[in-house]
Each structure stands twice: as C-alpha cells, then as structure tokens.
Structure 1
Amino acid sequence: MATRADSLSRPASAAILIACAVAFAAVLSLVAGATHDRIERNRQAWIQQRLDALVAPSSHDNDLLTDRIDVVSPDILGIPQPVPIYRARRNGEPVAAILHTVAPDGYHGPIGLLVAIAYDGSLIGVQVVRHQETPGLGDQFENRRRDWIENFRGRSLADPPQQRWSVRKDGGDFDSFTGATLTPRAIVKATRRALEYYGARRDQIFATSSGASP
C-alpha cells in the first residue's frame, strides 16, 4: 500500500521530469539556432566567394550581398521562381549585375548559374554553381576545365546576334560538348535569357531599393 510519502513524491517526480524536458527542449533550441546561424554564415561566405570570382572586389566599393533584389519574370527568364540579382557599384554608380538564375532543362535536372553582366550589357562571365550532370559533362564547365564556359566572357546580345544565341546544332554560334547537346543548350539559353532580362530592365535593376522587387 502506498504511503503518504510515496503520494507526496509523485508530484515532485513529475515536476522534475517536466523541468528536465523543458531544459532539454531549451538546449535543443539553442543548438538548432547556433547550427542555423553557422549554416547561414557558410552559405553567405560560399556565395561571396563566387561573386568575387566573377566581379573583382577592386571594381566596386559596395557590399554585393546586401545590395540585392529578387525579381520574378517567367516570360523572359523562363523560370517561375524569384531570381536574386546582386548589384556592384562604385561611388554609387552602377558597375555590374550578377543574376543567380537557373537553366531548368539540363540533362539531369536544373543547373544553377551566376551570370555577371557589365553595365554596358556585355558578359563579365558565367559560373555554374549547382548541377546534377555526370562528371564527364561537369568537366566542361567546372574549375578544372573551364575552356567552354570561358567563351561567354565579353559576349553580348550583339555578339553574336540575338538570334544566334544557341548551340551550333540549332543553327547558333556556340559549340556543344562532345557527345552532348542538352546541357550546353540549357546553359546558353539561360545565359541569353539573363542578358535579355538585363537589357530590358537595366534601369529598374539599379534603381530599385535593396530587398524590393522591381
């Protein structure tokens, strides 16, 4: 038979268990918050490195990560999701825009791209930042073999003419990879679309307040 002491100890035990559960939940929350913050810092550093590789830090004096807008233009960019645009300025004057866009029709799925465009509309460079292509295809545009993607540097909608912004198999001016057409076709198309969007919205891109959508 339970004693009076046993009866009194049950609420105390329950209170201890509840206190332990609350403390444990608080610890988990702190750990989750710290982990989230670390992941976000790593993500920001990762993006910063890639932006710096395209647009030299010496060419601008603003913070690209904070001087950013998000745009939605499925009719021009060909994708429904928002596209971040990082803006480079020097003494307040526009220098370049970097569109973080997507080629949705890669061979093995979407291909994430950074397309850096100088103020005059010429390409500073293109960088693939995410893909699911096979290693053989990825070699064509990753750091260890960049000859193909470096061919975009200095190009514009006037060089080649806009109607020839496609791979040679489709009547354009850009080479395909050996034995592959879908991946280069997707990258060329997404790059052309980024140039088209920039050409149509340049003034809006640089006039819109950071964090807003033009």
Structure 2
Amino acid sequence: MLDAIRKNGVTLAVFAAITTGMTAVVNTVTKPTIAHQTALQQKVLLDQVVPPELYNNAIQKECYVVSNPALGNAAPHHLYVARKDDKPVAVAIETIAPDGYSGAIMMIVGANFSGTVYGTRVVEHHETPGLGDKIELRISDWINSFNGRQLKGADDATFAVKKDGGTFDQFTGATITPRAVVNAVKRTTLYIETLPGQLASLPACGESNE
C-alpha cells in the first residue's frame, strides 16, 4: 500500500511539473500576442476621444502620470499627449466619476487646452442595466453628446444635465448616472486647460511610483 501511495505521489508530482512547464511555455508564446492586441485596443480607444487627424505623434508613447482631485480621486492617472508636428494640441486622460449611482465610473476624456471636448468613453462601471448603463456606447450614443462641446469656464451652466439647467439629456429614471459623468467631464476638461505649462515636467509612465 505504501508503494502505491509513493507511486501515486510521484505521478502527481511529475504531472504537476509538466503542467507548470506547459503553462509557462504557453504564457511565453502568447504574451507578445496579448500585448499587441492590448496596444491595438488602447489605440482604438484613444482615437475615439482624440481624432487621429489632429495629431501625428505616437500618442501611446507620450504617456505621463498625473494626480489631481479633479480626476475623481488622489490616485495616479495616465495622460496621453497628442502632438501635431511636436506641438501639444490635446490630451486623453483617465478620469473617474466617483459619484455614480452604483459607485465609481471609470472614463477617459479627450480635450484640447481651450475647453473643447473631443470625446469621452466609459471604460468601466457598475451602473444599473437598462438604466444607468446608457453611458456605454454599445447601449446608447448618449456619450457622443460630448463630442465637440466647448466648455466656457467653471461657471458654464450649460455643461450639466437638463434637470440641473444644462443641455445634456438625463435618462428616464436615472439622473444620477449622467449627472456624475457630465460633472466629471467638466472637472476633467477644466483640469486639462491647466496642463500646458506642466507637460514638460510630468513623470513618464513607468518612471513614477504609480
């Protein structure tokens, strides 16, 4: 019986070693492909919030780290600079609406330094299906309401949902979600306007303790 136990133990150990080795090989082989697909998806997202015809640099390589309460929390956020012939013309920046109906709403906002929003996308949320999830492009085109919108300063009352006197539609039975998104885009756009003088001193992605 002891011999059988030892034999089974050796078999299991060999099987575990083989499985671990195979997993390592598969990971090594597929890692470049996964990284490539991730980069492609990121580029598509960036081009949705900053039109590619506006810039001619490798925007993904112009990644910097910023931290400001305007972005929804004090955590580090990634910022991507779009340049035209080396001149900064816009940024795409990760931001958060912390006051969604079901928690934080993760977004990316693209805008220039004069208050024009080029685009906004929600990348993660937990809002109610059939109500708050209309902030997703695959559910509704509401998020495109930000495209080309000009924010005229912190006191621009039009940059709000209609229930609050603004011009953005709210959702039937769900005002909290769109209000949170509109307010976050407004705060983020105002912050973007302050960035031109800071770009040269921002830490690059991977060089900070993010």
Please, which moves more after superposition, 128-137 or 202-211?
202-211
State the alpha-carbon separation in 1 of the partners of residues 73 and 191 from structure 2: 12
1:181 and 1:65 map into 2 onto residues whose CA distance is: 34
When the two structures are superposed, what TM-score results if normalisation uses the length of structure 1? 0.76
For the pair 1:63 / 2:58, whether they are aligned, the reply is yes
| Residue of structure 2 equivalent to 1:166 | 160
TM-score normalised to the size of structure 2? Answer: 0.77
Moved more, 80-89 or 48-57: 48-57
For each residue in 1:139-187, what CA deviation from the matched residue of structure 2 results, as whole angstroms up to 9, or x when unmatched?
Answer: 35414531x3222223233178445533233344433112211110110
Determine if contact 2:154/2:190 at 8 Å carries over to the other structure. Answer: no
Aligned sequence identity (%): 33
Say which of 121, 130, 136 aligns to 1:135.
130
Matches of residues 8-157 of structure 1 in structure 2 within 5 Å? 24-74=19-69, 76-133=70-127, 134-139=129-134, 141-143=136-138, 145-146=140-141, 148-157=142-151
Give me the whole-angstrom Cα distance separating, in 2, the residues matched to 1:187 and 1:84: 18
The reply on whether 1:203 has 2:184 as its aligned counterpart is: no
Mapped contact 1:166–1:172 kept (Cα < 8 A): yes
In structure 1, stretches of 5+ residues that fail to align are 1-9
Instruction: Give, in whole Å, the separation in 2 of the partners of 1:196 and 1:160.
Output: 7
Aligned 8 A contact 2:94 2:107 in 1: yes
For residues 108 and 73 of structure 1, the distance between their equivalents in structure 2, rounded to whole angstroms, comes to 23
Alpha-carbon deviation of 1:17? 9.0
Amino acid at match of 2:53: S
Would you say the 8 A contact 1:94–1:119 is kept in 2? no
* Maintained 8 Å contact 1:66/1:210: no
Q: Is the 8 A contact 2:132 2:178 kept in 1?
A: no
- Could you list the per-position Cα deviations for residues 20-67 of structure 1 after superposition, in whole angstroms to 9, with x for gaps in the alignment? 765653332222344444433332221111112232323211111111
1:113 maps to amino acid: M
Stretch deviating more after TM superposition (81-90 or 123-132): 123-132
CA RMSD of aligned residues (A): 3.1
Q: Match for 2:187 among 172, 193, 196?
A: 193
Q: Secondary structure at the match of 1:175?
A: coil
Over 3 Å counting, the alpha-carbon distance change for 1:22 and 1:93 in structure 2 is: same
The residue number in structure 1 matching 2:3 is none
Q: 1:86 to 1:108 in 2, by over 3 A?
A: same
Deviation at residue 87 of structure 1 after TM alignment: 0.9
Partners in 1 of 2:159 and 2:53 — Cα distance? 31
Between stretches 101-110 and 16-25, larger displacement belongs to 16-25
